[in-house]
Amino acid sequence: MAPQLANKTIPAKIGLGEQNIATFNGLTPADQEAYNFTLFGENTDATFAVALEIEDFSRTGGCTRQAIEQVFTAEQMAAGYYNPLDTLIRQDPRMATAITEFTDCVNIAGFDYAHPDDIEPDLRQRLDEITGGLPVEALSSDALTALEELRAEEMAIGIVAFDCESKVIDPVEGRIERELYADPPK
């Protein structure tokens, strides 16, 4: 589904901006499809905002990809690229302690993740295993049941991970960022 048509506020829609959404909504359905293909290529969910947030430009396409290639280096666009700021934060011993506390927090809730970055790839892999790349309407009843179970688990994981991250990681990360980038005391 086109992110512009989402009934809820989702990152893909927010990142497009009001003017883009208004332009899209003024088009015929056929022109909307062409518009999105031109803007995103094959993956309409791979908007710039989403790709930047998850630090993965690999699924972007269309003129979005062309713009990304003009601004970001090949190294920054590589799937294995890790932001230098994130590297400095991750190397801080306080963050290592916070990650351990995060792991304990999600484990207490019954989920086995060692790092917040492990959750999304796990869920994507499990989704791909269920769907095999097929659209929802082509899935078997067993696959639909498995998909619904995964959806429920994803929501439960999301709530727990968000809570654990907010309580444990975010305060530590904020302190480290301020120390690294704040103006020195005068």
Each residue's pLDDT, cut to its tens digit, for the chain (186 residues) gives 677 777 776 666 667 778 888 888 899 999 999 998 999 999 888 888 888 877 788 889 999 999 999 998 888 887 777 777 788 888 999 999 999 999 999 999 999 999 998 998 999 899 999 998 888 888 999 999 999 999 999 999 999 999 999 999 999 999 998 888 875 555
Contact 129, 121 (CB under 8 A): no
| 73 & 131 share domain | no
| 137 & 53 share domain | no
Report the alpha-carbon distance of residue 102 to residue 150 in Å, rounded: 22
| 172 & 91 share domain | yes
Token match 């908007």: residue? 47
- Look up residue 185 and give its DSSP letter: P
Check residue 4 and give its pLDDT: 75
| 98 & 174 share domain | yes
Q: Which of 109, 89, 85 shows the shortest CA–CA distance to 99?
A: 89
Check residue 108 and give its pLDDT: 96
Contact 46, 68 (CB under 8 A): no
| 121 & 168 share domain | yes
| 70 & 89 share domain | no
Looking at residue 60, its amino acid is T
Contact 150, 130 (CB under 8 A): yes
Q: CA dist 37 to 2, 103, 151, 154, Å?
A: 10, 40, 27, 29
Check residue 10 and give its pLDDT: 65
| 99 & 156 share domain | yes
Report the SS3 class of residue 150.
helix
| 149 & 126 share domain | yes
Check residue 75 and give its pLDDT: 83
Listing DSSP states for 116-132 in one string gives GGGHHHHHHHHHHHHHT
Check residue 68 and give its pLDDT: 93
Task: Give me the phi and psi of 49, to 5 degrees please.
Answer: -60, -45
| 54 & 101 share domain | no
Domain that holds residue 9: 3-77
Give the helix/strand (H/E) hosting 142: helix 141-164
| 90 & 70 share domain | no
The answer to the question of residue 175 being in a domain is yes
Looking at 56, 77, 98, the residue that finishes a domain is: 77
Q: How many domains does the chain have?
A: 2
The answer to the question of residue 156 being in a domain is yes
| 104 & 134 share domain | yes
| 131 & 174 share domain | yes
Check residue 109 and give its pLDDT: 95
Looking at 77, 101, 123, the residue that finishes a domain is: 77
Check residue 9 and give its pLDDT: 66
Looking at 34, 52, 77, the residue that finishes a domain is: 77
The answer to the question of residue 186 being in a domain is no
pTM of the model: 0.61
Report the alpha-carbon distance of residue 4 to residue 25 in Å, rounded: 8
- Look up residue 72 and give its DSSP letter: S
